[in-house]
Structure 1
Amino acid sequence: MDWDKLRIFHAVASAGSLTHAGDVLNLSQSAVSRQIRALEESLNTTLFHRHARGLILTEQGELLYDATSAMVKRLEAAEARIRDSEDEVYGELRVTTTTAFGVLWLAPRLGKLYEKYPDLKIDLMLEERVLDLPMREADVAIRMKEPSQADLIRRRLMNIRMRLYATRSYLDRHGTPSSLEDLAQHRLISQNLKAPQVAAGAALVQTLLAHEIRPCLTVNSYYGVLQSVLSDLGIGVLPHYLTADFPGLVRVLPEIESGDVPVFLAYPEELRQSKRVSVFRDFVTSEIVAYRNRLQDEVLA
Protein backbone atom coordinates (compact mmCIF):
# COMPACT_ATOMS: atom_id res chain seq x y z
CA MET A 1 0.00 0.00 0.00
CA ASP A 2 1.09 3.56 -0.74
CA TRP A 3 2.21 5.25 2.48
CA ASP A 4 1.04 8.67 1.28
CA LYS A 5 -2.47 7.32 0.81
CA LEU A 6 -2.34 5.66 4.24
CA ARG A 7 -1.19 8.91 5.81
CA ILE A 8 -4.08 10.76 4.21
CA PHE A 9 -6.52 8.01 5.22
CA HIS A 10 -5.33 8.25 8.82
CA ALA A 11 -5.82 12.02 8.85
CA VAL A 12 -9.35 11.68 7.44
CA ALA A 13 -10.28 8.94 9.90
CA SER A 14 -8.94 11.00 12.81
CA ALA A 15 -10.72 14.17 11.70
CA GLY A 16 -13.93 12.51 10.47
CA SER A 17 -14.01 14.99 7.62
CA LEU A 18 -12.32 15.48 4.25
CA THR A 19 -12.24 19.23 4.78
CA HIS A 20 -10.67 19.10 8.24
CA ALA A 21 -8.13 16.50 7.10
CA GLY A 22 -7.25 18.72 4.14
CA ASP A 23 -6.61 21.62 6.50
CA VAL A 24 -4.26 19.46 8.58
CA LEU A 25 -2.45 18.11 5.50
CA ASN A 26 -2.49 21.42 3.60
CA LEU A 27 -4.34 19.74 0.71
CA SER A 28 -7.58 20.60 -1.04
CA GLN A 29 -10.71 18.62 -0.22
CA SER A 30 -10.82 17.26 -3.77
CA ALA A 31 -7.20 16.05 -3.55
CA VAL A 32 -7.93 14.27 -0.29
CA SER A 33 -11.08 12.72 -1.74
CA ARG A 34 -9.20 11.42 -4.79
CA GLN A 35 -6.57 9.76 -2.60
CA ILE A 36 -9.24 8.06 -0.46
CA ARG A 37 -11.08 6.78 -3.53
CA ALA A 38 -7.81 5.47 -4.98
CA LEU A 39 -7.02 3.66 -1.72
CA GLU A 40 -10.49 2.10 -1.60
CA GLU A 41 -10.12 0.94 -5.20
CA SER A 42 -6.71 -0.58 -4.53
CA LEU A 43 -8.14 -2.49 -1.55
CA ASN A 44 -11.41 -3.26 -3.32
CA THR A 45 -13.41 -2.18 -0.29
CA THR A 46 -15.27 0.77 1.22
CA LEU A 47 -13.46 2.46 4.09
CA PHE A 48 -16.00 5.16 5.03
CA HIS A 49 -19.74 5.54 5.27
CA ARG A 50 -20.47 8.99 3.85
CA HIS A 51 -23.33 11.11 5.15
CA ALA A 52 -24.19 14.78 5.57
CA ARG A 53 -22.57 15.09 9.00
CA GLY A 54 -19.24 13.63 7.97
CA LEU A 55 -17.53 10.28 7.59
CA ILE A 56 -17.81 7.12 9.69
CA LEU A 57 -15.40 4.23 9.34
CA THR A 58 -16.71 0.93 8.03
CA GLU A 59 -15.61 -2.30 9.67
CA GLN A 60 -12.80 -2.56 7.11
CA GLY A 61 -11.93 1.07 7.75
CA GLU A 62 -11.68 0.41 11.49
CA LEU A 63 -9.22 -2.41 10.82
CA LEU A 64 -7.06 -0.18 8.66
CA TYR A 65 -7.26 2.70 11.13
CA ASP A 66 -6.04 0.43 13.93
CA ALA A 67 -3.07 -0.46 11.74
CA THR A 68 -2.24 3.13 10.78
CA SER A 69 -2.61 4.25 14.41
CA ALA A 70 -0.05 1.65 15.45
CA MET A 71 2.24 2.79 12.64
CA VAL A 72 1.95 6.43 13.65
CA LYS A 73 2.71 5.58 17.26
CA ARG A 74 5.76 3.56 16.23
CA LEU A 75 6.98 6.41 14.03
CA GLU A 76 6.52 8.93 16.85
CA ALA A 77 8.46 6.64 19.18
CA ALA A 78 11.20 6.25 16.58
CA GLU A 79 11.38 10.03 16.14
CA ALA A 80 11.70 10.47 19.89
CA ARG A 81 14.41 7.80 20.08
CA ILE A 82 16.34 9.45 17.23
CA ARG A 83 16.06 12.88 18.82
CA ASP A 84 17.19 11.32 22.10
CA SER A 85 20.64 11.23 20.53
CA GLU A 86 20.59 15.02 20.26
CA ASP A 87 20.99 17.56 23.05
CA GLU A 88 17.29 18.24 23.55
CA VAL A 89 14.89 16.19 25.69
CA TYR A 90 11.91 15.50 23.50
CA GLY A 91 9.12 12.99 23.00
CA GLU A 92 6.95 10.68 25.06
CA LEU A 93 8.05 8.87 28.19
CA ARG A 94 5.68 6.18 29.46
CA VAL A 95 5.98 5.84 33.22
CA THR A 96 4.14 3.19 35.22
CA THR A 97 3.74 3.06 38.99
CA THR A 98 1.14 2.23 41.60
CA THR A 99 -1.95 4.41 41.87
CA ALA A 100 -1.15 5.65 45.37
CA PHE A 101 2.49 6.55 44.71
CA GLY A 102 1.63 8.12 41.36
CA VAL A 103 -1.27 10.22 42.64
CA LEU A 104 0.06 11.16 46.07
CA TRP A 105 3.81 11.53 45.53
CA LEU A 106 4.91 11.58 41.88
CA ALA A 107 2.26 13.60 40.03
CA PRO A 108 2.38 16.61 42.40
CA ARG A 109 6.12 16.93 41.73
CA LEU A 110 6.10 16.69 37.93
CA GLY A 111 5.66 20.45 37.49
CA LYS A 112 9.34 20.91 38.35
CA LEU A 113 10.32 18.47 35.62
CA TYR A 114 8.15 20.21 33.01
CA GLU A 115 9.67 23.57 33.94
CA LYS A 116 13.07 22.24 32.86
CA TYR A 117 11.90 20.12 29.92
CA PRO A 118 8.69 21.60 28.46
CA ASP A 119 8.84 19.39 25.33
CA LEU A 120 8.80 16.17 27.34
CA LYS A 121 5.49 14.32 27.18
CA ILE A 122 4.85 11.97 30.09
CA ASP A 123 2.24 9.23 29.83
CA LEU A 124 1.65 8.30 33.48
CA MET A 125 0.10 4.83 33.79
CA LEU A 126 -1.18 4.23 37.30
CA GLU A 127 -2.14 0.65 38.04
CA GLU A 128 -1.23 -2.19 40.33
CA ARG A 129 -0.50 -4.58 37.45
CA VAL A 130 3.23 -4.93 36.76
CA LEU A 131 3.77 -3.92 33.13
CA ASP A 132 6.30 -5.73 30.95
CA LEU A 133 9.18 -3.32 30.38
CA PRO A 134 11.23 -5.54 28.01
CA MET A 135 8.08 -5.83 25.83
CA ARG A 136 7.85 -2.01 25.97
CA GLU A 137 4.48 -1.78 27.70
CA ALA A 138 6.18 1.13 29.48
CA ASP A 139 9.57 2.84 29.43
CA VAL A 140 10.15 3.35 33.15
CA ALA A 141 8.60 1.71 36.20
CA ILE A 142 8.55 2.71 39.86
CA ARG A 143 7.43 -0.31 41.86
CA MET A 144 7.16 -1.35 45.50
CA LYS A 145 9.33 -4.45 44.97
CA GLU A 146 12.46 -5.29 43.03
CA PRO A 147 11.59 -6.12 39.39
CA SER A 148 12.21 -9.75 38.47
CA GLN A 149 12.30 -9.28 34.70
CA ALA A 150 15.62 -9.76 32.95
CA ASP A 151 17.54 -7.11 30.99
CA LEU A 152 16.44 -4.25 33.25
CA ILE A 153 18.51 -1.49 34.79
CA ARG A 154 17.20 -0.98 38.31
CA ARG A 155 17.89 1.52 41.07
CA ARG A 156 16.69 1.30 44.65
CA LEU A 157 15.19 4.67 45.50
CA MET A 158 14.18 4.25 49.13
CA ASN A 159 12.42 2.06 51.66
CA ILE A 160 8.95 2.85 52.92
CA ARG A 161 7.02 1.52 55.89
CA MET A 162 3.33 1.30 56.65
CA ARG A 163 2.41 3.13 59.85
CA LEU A 164 -0.65 4.35 61.77
CA TYR A 165 -1.82 7.95 61.32
CA ALA A 166 -4.72 10.17 62.33
CA THR A 167 -5.44 13.89 62.33
CA ARG A 168 -4.91 16.06 65.40
CA SER A 169 -8.60 17.01 65.39
CA TYR A 170 -9.62 13.33 65.45
CA LEU A 171 -7.27 12.55 68.34
CA ASP A 172 -8.44 15.61 70.29
CA ARG A 173 -12.03 14.35 70.08
CA HIS A 174 -11.48 10.61 70.52
CA GLY A 175 -8.24 10.37 72.44
CA THR A 176 -4.80 9.07 71.47
CA PRO A 177 -4.32 5.32 71.89
CA SER A 178 -1.27 4.31 73.89
CA SER A 179 -1.50 0.55 73.25
CA LEU A 180 -2.99 -1.98 70.88
CA GLU A 181 -5.74 -2.52 73.41
CA ASP A 182 -6.63 1.18 73.20
CA LEU A 183 -6.65 0.94 69.42
CA ALA A 184 -9.60 -1.43 69.70
CA GLN A 185 -11.72 1.60 70.70
CA HIS A 186 -11.05 3.36 67.40
CA ARG A 187 -12.09 2.78 63.82
CA LEU A 188 -9.24 1.33 61.77
CA ILE A 189 -9.03 2.49 58.16
CA SER A 190 -7.02 0.32 55.81
CA GLN A 191 -6.87 -1.20 52.39
CA ASN A 192 -9.12 -4.18 51.84
CA LEU A 193 -6.99 -7.27 52.32
CA LYS A 194 -8.19 -8.56 48.93
CA ALA A 195 -7.04 -5.40 47.14
CA PRO A 196 -3.61 -5.33 45.47
CA GLN A 197 -1.12 -3.93 47.98
CA VAL A 198 2.34 -4.47 49.38
CA ALA A 199 2.61 -7.67 51.40
CA ALA A 200 4.07 -5.84 54.40
CA GLY A 201 1.01 -3.59 54.57
CA ALA A 202 -1.41 -6.50 54.40
CA ALA A 203 0.53 -8.32 57.12
CA LEU A 204 0.35 -5.28 59.40
CA VAL A 205 -3.41 -4.95 58.91
CA GLN A 206 -3.93 -8.64 59.67
CA THR A 207 -1.96 -8.23 62.91
CA LEU A 208 -4.05 -5.23 63.95
CA LEU A 209 -7.37 -6.90 63.16
CA ALA A 210 -6.47 -9.74 65.54
CA HIS A 211 -7.07 -7.32 68.45
CA GLU A 212 -10.86 -7.05 68.06
CA ILE A 213 -10.83 -3.64 66.43
CA ARG A 214 -14.28 -1.98 66.33
CA PRO A 215 -16.04 -1.84 62.91
CA CYS A 216 -13.44 -0.94 60.31
CA LEU A 217 -13.46 1.02 57.09
CA THR A 218 -11.69 -0.66 54.20
CA VAL A 219 -10.88 0.99 50.90
CA ASN A 220 -9.29 -0.43 47.75
CA SER A 221 -6.58 2.26 47.50
CA TYR A 222 -4.28 4.19 49.80
CA TYR A 223 -5.66 7.40 48.31
CA GLY A 224 -9.07 6.46 49.70
CA VAL A 225 -7.52 5.58 53.07
CA LEU A 226 -5.79 8.96 53.16
CA GLN A 227 -8.95 10.92 52.34
CA SER A 228 -10.86 9.00 55.01
CA VAL A 229 -8.21 9.79 57.62
CA LEU A 230 -8.17 13.47 56.63
CA SER A 231 -11.96 13.44 57.07
CA ASP A 232 -11.51 12.36 60.72
CA LEU A 233 -13.11 8.95 60.25
CA GLY A 234 -10.50 7.05 62.23
CA ILE A 235 -6.89 5.87 62.36
CA GLY A 236 -5.42 4.77 59.05
CA VAL A 237 -2.67 2.45 57.85
CA LEU A 238 -0.65 4.55 55.40
CA PRO A 239 2.82 4.65 53.79
CA HIS A 240 5.10 6.98 55.69
CA TYR A 241 6.18 8.91 52.58
CA LEU A 242 2.92 10.87 52.88
CA THR A 243 3.97 12.71 56.03
CA ALA A 244 6.16 15.25 54.20
CA ASP A 245 3.30 16.39 51.96
CA PHE A 246 0.49 16.03 54.52
CA PRO A 247 1.87 17.60 57.72
CA GLY A 248 -1.55 17.37 59.37
CA LEU A 249 -1.06 13.63 59.84
CA VAL A 250 -0.07 12.57 63.35
CA ARG A 251 1.65 9.26 63.90
CA VAL A 252 -0.15 6.94 66.31
CA LEU A 253 1.51 4.11 68.27
CA PRO A 254 5.01 4.77 66.82
CA GLU A 255 6.25 1.37 67.91
CA ILE A 256 3.89 -0.26 65.40
CA GLU A 257 4.95 -0.36 61.75
CA SER A 258 5.45 -2.77 58.88
CA GLY A 259 8.74 -4.11 57.61
CA ASP A 260 10.65 -2.29 54.89
CA VAL A 261 9.01 -2.00 51.47
CA PRO A 262 11.68 -1.29 48.84
CA VAL A 263 10.91 1.21 46.08
CA PHE A 264 12.72 0.56 42.79
CA LEU A 265 13.03 2.53 39.57
CA ALA A 266 13.65 0.31 36.53
CA TYR A 267 13.92 0.62 32.75
CA PRO A 268 15.05 -1.62 29.86
CA GLU A 269 18.75 -1.96 29.08
CA GLU A 270 18.10 -0.67 25.55
CA LEU A 271 17.07 2.71 27.00
CA ARG A 272 20.35 3.17 28.86
CA GLN A 273 21.36 6.08 26.59
CA SER A 274 17.91 7.68 26.45
CA LYS A 275 17.98 11.30 27.57
CA ARG A 276 14.28 11.17 28.40
CA VAL A 277 14.89 8.29 30.78
CA SER A 278 18.03 9.80 32.29
CA VAL A 279 16.44 13.18 33.06
CA PHE A 280 13.41 11.46 34.60
CA ARG A 281 15.64 9.13 36.65
CA ASP A 282 17.77 12.03 37.88
CA PHE A 283 14.66 14.10 38.65
CA VAL A 284 13.06 11.34 40.76
CA THR A 285 16.35 10.69 42.54
CA SER A 286 16.77 14.37 43.41
CA GLU A 287 13.19 14.54 44.68
CA ILE A 288 13.81 11.49 46.86
CA VAL A 289 16.90 13.18 48.34
CA ALA A 290 14.91 16.38 49.00
CA TYR A 291 12.13 14.32 50.57
CA ARG A 292 14.58 12.53 52.88
CA ASN A 293 16.19 15.82 53.90
CA ARG A 294 12.79 17.33 54.66
CA LEU A 295 11.84 14.39 56.87
CA GLN A 296 15.18 14.61 58.65
CA ASP A 297 14.71 18.33 59.29
CA GLU A 298 11.27 17.63 60.77
CA VAL A 299 12.75 14.99 63.10
CA LEU A 300 15.46 17.42 64.28
CA ALA A 301 13.09 20.38 64.67
Structure 2
Amino acid sequence: MDWDKLKVFFAVAEAGNFTKAAVKLSLSQSAISRQISSLEESLGAPLFYRHARGLFLTEQGEQLFKTAREVVVDLSMTEALITDKGDKIQGKLKITSSIGFGAIWLTPKIPEFLRRYPDLNLSFIFSDDVVDLSIHEADIALSSVFVPSESMYGRPFFKAPMGIYASREYLLAHGVPLKIEDLDQHQLVVFGDNSKIPSTDVNWLLSCGRAEGGTRVPYITINNLYGIGRAVEAGAGIACIPPYIASHCHGLIQVLPEVETPLVTFNFVCADILKGSPKIEALYQYLKEFS
Protein backbone atom coordinates (compact mmCIF):
# COMPACT_ATOMS: atom_id res chain seq x y z
CA MET A 1 0.00 0.00 0.00
CA ASP A 2 1.27 3.46 -0.91
CA TRP A 3 2.45 5.18 2.27
CA ASP A 4 1.72 8.69 0.95
CA LYS A 5 -1.87 7.73 0.20
CA LEU A 6 -2.22 6.18 3.65
CA LYS A 7 -1.02 9.42 5.29
CA VAL A 8 -3.55 11.40 3.27
CA PHE A 9 -6.32 8.96 4.18
CA PHE A 10 -5.47 9.22 7.88
CA ALA A 11 -5.47 13.02 7.80
CA VAL A 12 -8.83 13.13 5.98
CA ALA A 13 -10.37 10.57 8.35
CA GLU A 14 -9.25 12.61 11.37
CA ALA A 15 -10.38 15.93 9.91
CA GLY A 16 -13.70 14.73 8.50
CA ASN A 17 -13.33 16.80 5.34
CA PHE A 18 -10.88 17.61 2.57
CA THR A 19 -10.51 21.29 3.52
CA LYS A 20 -9.02 20.75 6.98
CA ALA A 21 -6.86 17.88 5.76
CA ALA A 22 -5.54 20.06 2.93
CA VAL A 23 -4.46 22.74 5.41
CA LYS A 24 -2.77 20.18 7.66
CA LEU A 25 -0.89 18.52 4.81
CA SER A 26 -0.23 21.69 2.79
CA LEU A 27 -1.85 20.12 -0.27
CA SER A 28 -4.68 21.24 -2.51
CA GLN A 29 -8.13 19.76 -1.98
CA SER A 30 -8.08 18.39 -5.51
CA ALA A 31 -4.78 16.59 -4.86
CA ILE A 32 -6.17 15.04 -1.68
CA SER A 33 -9.37 14.01 -3.45
CA ARG A 34 -7.33 12.29 -6.18
CA GLN A 35 -5.23 10.45 -3.59
CA ILE A 36 -8.32 9.16 -1.79
CA SER A 37 -10.01 8.11 -5.04
CA SER A 38 -6.84 6.31 -6.13
CA LEU A 39 -6.60 4.52 -2.77
CA GLU A 40 -10.25 3.45 -2.94
CA GLU A 41 -9.70 2.19 -6.48
CA SER A 42 -6.62 0.18 -5.53
CA LEU A 43 -8.45 -1.39 -2.58
CA GLY A 44 -11.63 -1.98 -4.53
CA ALA A 45 -13.76 -0.55 -1.73
CA PRO A 46 -15.21 2.85 -0.74
CA LEU A 47 -13.57 4.36 2.33
CA PHE A 48 -15.88 7.36 2.90
CA TYR A 49 -19.52 8.26 2.60
CA ARG A 50 -19.72 11.70 1.01
CA HIS A 51 -22.29 13.90 2.75
CA ALA A 52 -23.13 17.61 2.80
CA ARG A 53 -22.04 17.69 6.46
CA GLY A 54 -18.67 16.10 5.73
CA LEU A 55 -17.04 12.73 5.19
CA PHE A 56 -17.95 9.63 7.19
CA LEU A 57 -15.97 6.40 7.25
CA THR A 58 -17.48 3.27 5.73
CA GLU A 59 -17.01 -0.07 7.45
CA GLN A 60 -13.93 -0.68 5.29
CA GLY A 61 -12.73 2.83 6.08
CA GLU A 62 -13.08 2.19 9.82
CA GLN A 63 -10.92 -0.93 9.52
CA LEU A 64 -8.22 0.90 7.57
CA PHE A 65 -8.31 3.89 9.94
CA LYS A 66 -7.68 1.66 12.96
CA THR A 67 -4.61 0.16 11.29
CA ALA A 68 -3.40 3.49 9.91
CA ARG A 69 -3.67 5.08 13.33
CA GLU A 70 -1.47 2.41 14.90
CA VAL A 71 1.11 2.81 12.12
CA VAL A 72 1.14 6.63 12.34
CA VAL A 73 1.46 6.59 16.13
CA ASP A 74 4.25 4.00 16.08
CA LEU A 75 6.18 5.96 13.48
CA SER A 76 5.66 9.23 15.32
CA MET A 77 6.84 7.79 18.63
CA THR A 78 9.82 6.12 16.93
CA GLU A 79 10.80 9.40 15.28
CA ALA A 80 10.66 11.15 18.65
CA LEU A 81 12.92 8.51 20.21
CA ILE A 82 15.41 8.46 17.32
CA THR A 83 15.83 12.25 17.32
CA ASP A 84 16.25 12.23 21.11
CA LYS A 85 19.37 10.08 21.35
CA GLY A 86 22.36 11.37 23.28
CA ASP A 87 22.60 13.83 26.12
CA LYS A 88 22.14 17.00 24.10
CA ILE A 89 18.85 18.80 24.69
CA GLN A 90 17.61 19.40 21.16
CA GLY A 91 14.81 18.77 18.68
CA LYS A 92 11.09 19.41 18.65
CA LEU A 93 8.80 19.40 21.66
CA LYS A 94 5.04 19.89 21.51
CA ILE A 95 3.28 20.85 24.76
CA THR A 96 -0.41 21.10 25.53
CA SER A 97 -2.31 22.60 28.46
CA SER A 98 -5.55 24.36 29.24
CA ILE A 99 -5.94 27.86 27.82
CA GLY A 100 -5.77 29.66 31.16
CA PHE A 101 -2.80 27.79 32.61
CA GLY A 102 -0.91 27.85 29.34
CA ALA A 103 -1.44 31.50 28.48
CA ILE A 104 -1.07 32.90 32.00
CA TRP A 105 1.30 30.62 33.94
CA LEU A 106 3.35 28.80 31.32
CA THR A 107 4.18 31.17 28.47
CA PRO A 108 6.04 33.81 30.56
CA LYS A 109 8.45 31.09 31.69
CA ILE A 110 9.32 29.77 28.23
CA PRO A 111 11.83 32.41 27.03
CA GLU A 112 14.25 31.61 29.87
CA PHE A 113 13.90 27.87 29.18
CA LEU A 114 14.81 28.43 25.52
CA ARG A 115 17.77 30.58 26.53
CA ARG A 116 19.06 27.60 28.48
CA TYR A 117 18.34 25.18 25.63
CA PRO A 118 18.58 27.10 22.35
CA ASP A 119 18.57 23.94 20.21
CA LEU A 120 14.99 23.12 21.19
CA ASN A 121 12.03 23.95 18.97
CA LEU A 122 8.83 24.30 21.01
CA SER A 123 5.22 24.40 19.90
CA PHE A 124 2.11 24.73 22.07
CA ILE A 125 -1.50 23.66 21.92
CA PHE A 126 -3.61 25.59 24.41
CA SER A 127 -7.07 24.05 24.53
CA ASP A 128 -9.72 23.20 27.10
CA ASP A 129 -10.47 20.11 25.00
CA VAL A 130 -8.45 16.98 25.70
CA VAL A 131 -5.42 16.54 23.44
CA ASP A 132 -4.73 12.83 22.90
CA LEU A 133 -1.16 11.92 23.85
CA SER A 134 -1.78 8.27 22.98
CA ILE A 135 -1.78 9.17 19.27
CA HIS A 136 1.07 11.68 19.76
CA GLU A 137 -0.95 14.84 19.18
CA ALA A 138 1.53 16.29 21.66
CA ASP A 139 4.60 15.11 23.57
CA ILE A 140 3.60 16.54 26.96
CA ALA A 141 0.36 17.54 28.65
CA LEU A 142 0.29 19.86 31.65
CA SER A 143 -3.00 18.76 33.09
CA SER A 144 -5.00 19.15 36.29
CA VAL A 145 -6.76 15.88 35.45
CA PHE A 146 -4.66 12.72 35.12
CA VAL A 147 -5.75 9.10 35.29
CA PRO A 148 -2.73 6.76 35.55
CA SER A 149 -2.50 4.02 32.94
CA GLU A 150 0.04 1.60 31.51
CA SER A 151 0.68 3.83 28.49
CA MET A 152 0.80 7.23 30.25
CA TYR A 153 3.31 8.51 32.81
CA GLY A 154 2.50 11.49 35.00
CA ARG A 155 3.89 13.29 38.04
CA PRO A 156 2.75 16.46 39.81
CA PHE A 157 4.86 19.57 39.31
CA PHE A 158 2.62 22.42 40.49
CA LYS A 159 0.45 22.64 43.62
CA ALA A 160 -1.12 25.73 45.17
CA PRO A 161 -4.19 26.45 47.32
CA MET A 162 -7.07 28.12 45.56
CA GLY A 163 -8.39 31.38 46.98
CA ILE A 164 -11.81 33.00 47.41
CA TYR A 165 -11.90 36.39 45.70
CA ALA A 166 -14.20 39.30 44.93
CA SER A 167 -13.78 42.85 43.66
CA ARG A 168 -13.82 45.89 45.95
CA GLU A 169 -16.93 47.19 44.15
CA TYR A 170 -18.80 43.95 44.73
CA LEU A 171 -17.91 43.85 48.44
CA LEU A 172 -18.97 47.47 48.93
CA ALA A 173 -22.32 46.71 47.32
CA HIS A 174 -23.02 43.29 48.87
CA GLY A 175 -20.96 43.16 52.07
CA VAL A 176 -17.99 41.04 53.08
CA PRO A 177 -18.65 37.40 54.04
CA LEU A 178 -17.24 36.82 57.53
CA LYS A 179 -17.84 33.07 57.74
CA ILE A 180 -18.26 30.35 55.14
CA GLU A 181 -22.04 30.13 55.72
CA ASP A 182 -22.38 33.78 54.62
CA LEU A 183 -21.76 32.64 51.06
CA ASP A 184 -25.43 31.56 51.00
CA GLN A 185 -26.29 35.25 50.57
CA HIS A 186 -23.77 36.02 47.82
CA GLN A 187 -23.48 35.82 44.05
CA LEU A 188 -21.20 32.90 43.23
CA VAL A 189 -19.38 32.55 39.91
CA VAL A 190 -18.38 28.95 39.14
CA PHE A 191 -17.29 26.61 36.38
CA GLY A 192 -20.16 25.61 34.13
CA ASP A 193 -19.22 22.76 31.77
CA ASN A 194 -19.09 19.38 33.47
CA SER A 195 -17.71 17.74 30.32
CA LYS A 196 -14.53 19.85 30.56
CA ILE A 197 -14.26 20.37 34.31
CA PRO A 198 -10.59 21.05 35.15
CA SER A 199 -10.66 19.38 38.58
CA THR A 200 -13.12 17.71 40.91
CA ASP A 201 -12.92 20.62 43.38
CA VAL A 202 -13.39 23.45 40.90
CA ASN A 203 -16.95 24.16 42.15
CA TRP A 204 -16.14 23.59 45.81
CA LEU A 205 -17.61 27.03 46.58
CA LEU A 206 -21.13 25.69 45.98
CA SER A 207 -20.92 23.05 48.71
CA CYS A 208 -18.39 24.26 51.31
CA GLY A 209 -19.98 24.83 54.71
CA ARG A 210 -23.24 23.19 53.67
CA ALA A 211 -24.82 20.05 55.10
CA GLU A 212 -23.88 16.90 53.20
CA GLY A 213 -25.61 16.91 49.84
CA GLY A 214 -26.56 20.58 50.11
CA THR A 215 -25.48 22.97 47.41
CA ARG A 216 -25.78 26.64 46.56
CA VAL A 217 -27.24 27.94 43.31
CA PRO A 218 -24.61 29.71 41.17
CA TYR A 219 -25.17 33.27 39.99
CA ILE A 220 -23.14 32.76 36.80
CA THR A 221 -21.44 29.71 35.27
CA ILE A 222 -18.52 30.10 32.86
CA ASN A 223 -16.58 27.30 31.18
CA ASN A 224 -13.14 28.91 31.52
CA LEU A 225 -11.25 29.78 34.72
CA TYR A 226 -9.74 32.95 33.31
CA GLY A 227 -13.22 34.02 32.23
CA ILE A 228 -14.38 33.46 35.81
CA GLY A 229 -11.56 35.65 37.10
CA ARG A 230 -12.37 38.46 34.70
CA ALA A 231 -16.07 38.31 35.60
CA VAL A 232 -15.20 38.61 39.29
CA GLU A 233 -12.82 41.47 38.47
CA ALA A 234 -15.79 43.26 36.87
CA GLY A 235 -17.92 42.84 40.00
CA ALA A 236 -20.02 39.80 39.06
CA GLY A 237 -19.62 38.07 42.42
CA ILE A 238 -17.35 35.77 44.41
CA ALA A 239 -15.28 32.91 43.00
CA CYS A 240 -12.77 30.34 44.17
CA ILE A 241 -9.92 30.42 41.64
CA PRO A 242 -6.25 29.40 41.40
CA PRO A 243 -3.58 31.94 42.37
CA TYR A 244 -2.17 32.16 38.84
CA ILE A 245 -5.61 33.38 37.66
CA ALA A 246 -6.16 35.80 40.56
CA SER A 247 -2.75 37.40 40.11
CA HIS A 248 -3.64 38.41 36.54
CA CYS A 249 -6.98 40.00 37.41
CA HIS A 250 -6.80 43.60 38.61
CA GLY A 251 -7.86 44.57 42.13
CA LEU A 252 -9.19 41.28 43.46
CA ILE A 253 -9.56 41.02 47.23
CA GLN A 254 -9.23 37.69 48.99
CA VAL A 255 -12.08 36.95 51.39
CA LEU A 256 -12.30 34.26 54.07
CA PRO A 257 -8.51 33.74 53.94
CA GLU A 258 -8.62 31.55 57.03
CA VAL A 259 -10.78 28.95 55.25
CA GLU A 260 -8.88 25.89 54.00
CA THR A 261 -9.47 25.70 50.26
CA PRO A 262 -8.73 22.88 47.80
CA LEU A 263 -5.34 22.59 46.16
CA VAL A 264 -5.04 23.01 42.42
CA THR A 265 -2.57 20.41 41.14
CA PHE A 266 -1.08 20.20 37.67
CA ASN A 267 0.56 17.03 36.42
CA PHE A 268 3.36 16.67 33.88
CA VAL A 269 2.14 13.87 31.62
CA CYS A 270 3.77 12.08 28.68
CA ALA A 271 3.55 8.72 26.95
CA ASP A 272 5.33 6.07 29.02
CA ILE A 273 7.69 5.33 26.13
CA LEU A 274 8.97 8.95 26.21
CA LYS A 275 9.50 9.34 29.95
CA GLY A 276 13.30 8.90 29.67
CA SER A 277 13.66 11.64 27.08
CA PRO A 278 16.39 14.18 28.07
CA LYS A 279 14.45 17.15 26.64
CA ILE A 280 11.25 16.12 28.42
CA GLU A 281 13.13 15.68 31.69
CA ALA A 282 14.80 19.08 31.20
CA LEU A 283 11.41 20.77 30.84
CA TYR A 284 10.02 18.98 33.90
CA GLN A 285 12.96 20.01 36.09
CA TYR A 286 12.71 23.60 34.84
CA LEU A 287 8.99 23.89 35.56
CA LYS A 288 9.51 22.35 39.00
CA GLU A 289 11.61 25.41 39.87
CA PHE A 290 8.37 27.44 39.98
CA SER A 291 6.33 25.05 42.12
Asked if TM exceeds 0.5, the reply is yes
Q: Distance in 1 between matches of 2:4 and 2:145?
A: 46
Candidates 256, 279, 283, aligned match of 1:280 = 283
List gaps (5 residues or longer) in structure 1: 22-32, 48-56, 290-301
TM-score, normalised with respect to structure 2: 0.64
TM alignment of 1:284-299, pairs within 5 A: 284-286=287-289, 288-289=290-291
Q: Distance in 1 between matches of 2:102 and 2:268?
A: 13
Q: Secondary structure at the match of 2:280?
A: helix
TM alignment of 1:43-82, pairs within 5 A: 75=75, 77-82=77-82
Q: Percent identity, please.
A: 29
TM alignment of 1:113-192, pairs within 5 A: 113=113, 116=118, 119-127=121-129, 138-144=138-144, 147-150=147-150, 152-180=152-180, 182-192=182-192
Q: Between 85-94 and 1-10, report the one with greater CA deviation.
A: 1-10
Q: Secondary structure at the match of 1:254?
A: coil
Larger Rg: 1
Aligned-residue offset at 1:252: 0.8
Aligned-residue offset at 1:82: 1.6
Letter in 1 for 2:200: A
Candidates 256, 260, 285, aligned match of 1:253 = 256
Aligned-residue offset at 1:244: 3.8
The aligned residue for residue 271 of structure 1 is 274
Q: Paired residues, what number?
A: 263
Spell out, residue by residue over 1:142-168, the C-alpha distance to the aligned partner (whole angstroms, 9 max, x if none).
333564323654433232333210123
The aligned residue for residue 90 of structure 2 is 89
- Contact 1:93-1:276 within 8 A present in 2 as well: no
Aligned-residue offset at 1:137: 6.3
Q: Distance in 2 between matches of 1:160 and 1:100?
A: 15
Q: Distance in 1 between matches of 2:99 and 2:161?
A: 17
CA 1:203–1:4 in structure 2 vs 1: closer, same or farther (change >3 Å)?
A: closer
Q: Secondary structure at the match of 2:150?
A: coil
Candidates 29, 37, 47, aligned match of 1:16 = 29
1:219 paired with 2:222, answer yes
Q: Distance in 2 between matches of 1:78 and 1:105?
A: 31
- Contact 1:140-1:265 within 8 A present in 2 as well: yes
Q: Distance in 1 between matches of 2:267 and 2:5?
A: 45
- Contact 1:187-1:213 within 8 A present in 2 as well: no
Letter in 1 for 2:287: V
Give the superposed CA RMSD.
Answer: 4.8
Letter in 2 for 1:155: R
Aligned-residue offset at 1:15: 2.2
Spell out, residue by residue over 1:35-75, the C-alpha distance to the aligned partner (whole angstroms, 9 max, x if none).
9999888667999xxxxxxxxx9x99xx6x97889867765
Aligned-residue offset at 1:101: 3.0
CA 1:173–1:225 in structure 2 vs 1: closer, same or farther (change >3 Å)?
A: same
